[in-house]
Chain A
């Protein structure tokens, strides 16, 4: 039997089509050697050094002048860094939206805060990518994605991508792209930015007070006709659906301006933290308009 398997493996693998010969080696990179290149780099380094010296001297003079005028010197408590925190969802989304070369047309973008343990289970090779912290924002993008890491042009166009960002700094430490229109694994991931007992409900919008306040009528958490005041923050997700189509908005105001939400309009789907806050509001975690069209 081993000889049969050996024969099958040899026979079949030899039938696999090969890459075109021009793709056997990586595309040549721009030459970085030679006297001219070294001279250019040296000149640039010296110019930066000189600029740093000039700017440093200028700033030193300014500091002296300010001190002589009796300006208040910041105290240690005012300047000491606070506890390490994570960047917000909107900041994570903004980082990826800013990659305009990679993502010239984004039709949908979502982010989830995911712990190291969950990522490790999803991707056993994560350790090799040196995940910098204990949590990451996983950002999923749908659109025409260009490959930022391919040595050779991809064999098929990419329509979606995933980016892993260090939750503390927002630095991208891993990325992937796919021909699918939405990275399927993304939907299976939990989102640690949501409250453990988050509630989801279809609600009627009663009032919108930009930039962040929404009053709705709902059946939860206190029975039919409950009036809730919801406050959005930098972690709130805004999205819209219209039939099979859907997309992302980046603020309550954007949904209002696009006539995708209005007082007395169609119901919307919300997820919120049921913990009532001191100002009487509840934290709005996500808002999906056109909820009944999907």
Chain B
């Protein structure tokens, strides 16, 4: 990658999948957009290593940035924002959106990384800095929870 234009081209090719993965994980369109922008800026300053899984890298960097950027009081039950944003509503209308809503954000991140971005357990483990066994266990727990929630839906 020799220039910012090269980076932007690579980034743009990955945006559709990464943005949707972020939206499904964070469940907050504005936060997903801001986090994506942060990951773009991070790539301009310090691009990923050659040969690195670009969607996975963008996803991880954006998630990390989102945690720093998240709005205060997101965890307050009373502060759950009844977002009227079309994107958030679209997610809630989808079966996958409802299933993923049953998971914690960490579980969602690993499930989306594996099943949507196509990362192997080993790749996800390397990206998120955990052991492959942790990824496997987390995904298994997530599946069990979704399976229970989807018993009538699937």
Contacts and interface: CB of A to CB of B under 8 A. Distances in A.
B30 A154 contact: yes
B87 A16 contact: yes
Contact of B11 (A9, A25, A129, A164): A25
A9 B96 CA distance: 5
Contacts of A162: 71-73
Interface string B118-154: 0000000000000000000000000100110010001
A17 B41 contact: no
Interface stretch (A172-180, A211-219, A266-274): A172-180
B145 to A, nearest CB: 11
A10 B76 contact: no
B112 interface: yes
Contacts of A185: 73, 76, 78-79
A46 to B, nearest CB: 29
B37 A26 contact: yes
Contact of A8 (B85, B86, B95): B95
Contacts, number: 144
B82 A180 contact: yes
Helix, strand, loop or mixed for chain B's interface?
helix
Interface residues of A, number: 53
B15 A24 contact: yes
Contacts of B37: 25-26, 151-152
A9 B111 contact: yes
Interface string A257-287: 0000000000000000000000000000000
Contacts of A121: 75
Interface of A: 1-2, 4-6, 8-19, 21, 23-26, 119, 121-126, 128-129, 138, 150-152, 154-156, 162, 164, 174-180, 183-188
Interface of B: 8, 11-12, 15-16, 19-21, 23-24, 29-30, 33-34, 36-37, 40-41, 67-68, 70-76, 78-79, 81-87, 90-91, 94-97, 99-100, 111-112, 115-116, 143, 146-147, 150, 154
8 contacts: A9-B99, A13-B112, A123-B75, A156-B85, A162-B71, A178-B81, A180-B81, A188-B79
Given A4-B154, A122-B76, 11 more contacts: A5-B154, A8-B96, A9-B112, A10-B116, A13-B20, A18-B20, A19-B19, A24-B36, A124-B75, A138-B72, A188-B76
